[in-house]
Homo-oligomer: A and B are copies of this chain.
């Protein structure tokens, strides 16, 4: 199958498939006319990548997970370690976002939101520290 069908079946855009090939994440076989040719196995790999990306894994992590997935003799410990490190990073980022939202919500609560120019949000942004 050509790149368009592989894209449709994997949920990864053709643009991204070419990109993943360019950065060495996946390989590609070419037919006589230069078109990329894919099989079921490639579609499965692309789906794997998409799911990992959906979980927020950066491509470098995806590269490692993919190597582990394709290694019949891998140890699950390595996968678990990678996953838990990523969970911690995700949760820390989520906390930081919630803290930002909370402080901004607090500032907004004290801004009357009418035609007057006073606004504690701007006052806070202008603080000296």
Contacts and interface: CB of A to CB of B under 8 A. Distances in A.
Contacts of A32: none
B126 A77 contact: no
Interface residues of A, number: 56
Contact of A113 (B76, B86, B100, B119): B76
A115 B75 CA distance: 4
A1 interface: no
Interface in A57-111: 65, 68-69, 71-77, 79-81, 83-84, 86-87, 90-91, 93-95, 97-98, 100-101, 103-105, 107-108, 111
Interface of A: 44, 47-48, 51-52, 54-56, 65, 68-69, 71-77, 79-81, 83-84, 86-87, 90-91, 93-95, 97-98, 100-101, 103-105, 107-108, 111-119, 121-122, 124-129
